Structure 1
């Protein structure tokens, strides 16, 4: 519930010299005097205290006619400090024509005035004669013993709290009625979800029974199949390329490891082979020339050589 807080406080306790024999008991007696009263220092009513720690056991005697002992102590305090706008919950203990009385936490009194009750409510007595406030449209009833929620309008902070509230804001009224309303709302939402689910199933069945829709689904499936085959073909080609690249890399590795003497030997063999090929081509060219060489040209050349030898012989005789 709103308004309940826990505060860590540093307190000063003034003990009478007669309490020096039992300091702890004297401290508890002083704290009990703070309970259920509004305290301006804490801005609320102290409902309980716990985790008490005395900070100094060597208390100083105060000057004056009453030499009290001053102690410092720490404690955690449970405070009730309602403020306007908070939502509080209490039990109805009075139902009158001009107001509804509520008791909070079994201690504090609050009142909801006639002008703060919704207009749809009217005051009446039930068949047994018990007074109540009932709604004329929604079946909302507030009677003696009902637990209600209300919004705080104002708080008068005196020695005791005087709280006034209102039932006009939303989510206020009898707690049982609010719970049934929320359960009804959740039931309605669940029913709407079921209806929506059934409608969706009906639409799916209608789509399945429609041949146009089925054709569209079949085309989609065929398109998906073609797409999958094309994708598989691409993956196969990619794997082949990867294998080829791997083989090329392997060959490159072998060529790097190939001995230098084998490389020179192979180069020498290639040179010899080229020379033989050149020689064979020259022989072929010469043979072809001898076959095509004219016979009369050959005889003329032979005659020239004989004439030249004769001239040489005559010159030698002279």
Structure 2
């Protein structure tokens, strides 16, 4: 059963002078401010506005704003107990399901004891409306699960592209090239002849000097 209907309304809207060039878009946006909200005047929640037109050719200016009377056909969501609706499961427990109707309105569904399989998150299900709850501008539904229409299709993940990592380790050639100057300096230091005498040589020199002294 369809839970929507069209209703023609008339409404006064105050248009900003800066919106005169985009009048139609501004008037439509003003009406859609109440989208998805429950309205006693509409006896349901506003979904969309069509066939918008301005009524009358003369408009009053009130405190700098242009007062316009508009007429439009409103698409209204107005579910009733006993209707069969569809929704997508977004929450679940052992005894109840949570689902979204028209991707907007929340519904809490009780699970019948005769239910063979448990719906999963993302499944499209049908349910019977048992109660319509209105809290201010929020419309909420209660119902009983009837059947699973279709199961959710898992999203296929694309395989990750293989990226070859660059080898950042230095090759022997790189080491020779990069460290050539420092290596040659180290070698030069190592091969430089030592200017210091070893302890044995210094002792021999002392003895030799002593002998020369004695002979004198």
TM bin (shorter chain):
0.5 to 0.7
User: How far does residue 176 in structure 1 lie from its aligned partner after superposition?
Assistant: 4.9
Is 1:93 the counterpart of 2:87? The answer is no
Residue 121 of structure 2 is matched in structure 1 by 144
Inter-CA distance 161–93: structure 2 relative to 1 (3 Å threshold): same
Residue 155 of structure 1 is matched in structure 2 by 132
Task: Check the 8 A contact 2:88/2:125 in 1, yes or no.
Answer: yes
Q: What is the 5 A alignment of 1:74-89?
A: 74-89=71-86
User: How far does residue 44 in structure 1 lie from its aligned partner after superposition?
Assistant: 1.1
Residue 61 of structure 1 is matched in structure 2 by 61
Unaligned runs of 5+ in 1: 122-134, 178-318
Is 1:26 the counterpart of 2:26? The answer is yes
Task: Check the 8 A contact 2:95/2:111 in 1, yes or no.
Answer: no
- In structure 2, how many angstroms separate the alpha carbons of the residues matched to 1:163 and 1:79? 16
- In structure 1, how many angstroms separate the alpha carbons of the residues matched to 2:48 and 2:36? 9
Residue 47 of structure 1 is matched in structure 2 by 47
Aligned match for 1:165, one of 143, 148, 155: 143
Residue 3 of structure 2 is matched in structure 1 by 3
Task: Check the 8 A contact 1:57/1:71 in 2, yes or no.
Answer: no
Inter-CA distance 176–27: structure 2 relative to 1 (3 Å threshold): closer
Task: Check the 8 A contact 2:28/2:52 in 1, yes or no.
Answer: no
Residue 175 of structure 1 is matched in structure 2 by 149
Inter-CA distance 70–174: structure 2 relative to 1 (3 Å threshold): same
Give the structure with the larger helix fraction. Answer: 1
User: How far does residue 175 in structure 1 lie from its aligned partner after superposition?
Assistant: 2.2
Count of residue pairs brought into register by the alignment: 150
User: How far does residue 34 in structure 1 lie from its aligned partner after superposition?
Assistant: 2.1
CA offsets 1:75-104 (integer angstroms, 9 cap, x no match):
111111112221111111112124201111
- In structure 1, how many angstroms separate the alpha carbons of the residues matched to 2:29 and 2:66? 14
Inter-CA distance 71–93: structure 2 relative to 1 (3 Å threshold): same
Residue 245 of structure 1 is matched in structure 2 by none
**RMSD between superposed Cα atoms in Å:** 2.3
Residue 239 of structure 1 is matched in structure 2 by none
- In structure 2, how many angstroms separate the alpha carbons of the residues matched to 1:24 and 1:58? 16
Inter-CA distance 20–144: structure 2 relative to 1 (3 Å threshold): closer
Aligned match for 1:119, one of 108, 113, 117: 113
| TM score, norm. by length of structure 1 | 0.43
- In structure 2, how many angstroms separate the alpha carbons of the residues matched to 1:104 and 1:176? 15
Higher radius of gyration, 1 or 2: 1
Greater than 6 Å deviation, 4+ residue runs:
none
Unaligned runs of 5+ in 2: 152-216
User: How far does residue 50 in structure 1 lie from its aligned partner after superposition?
Assistant: 1.4
- In structure 2, how many angstroms separate the alpha carbons of the residues matched to 1:52 and 1:2? 24
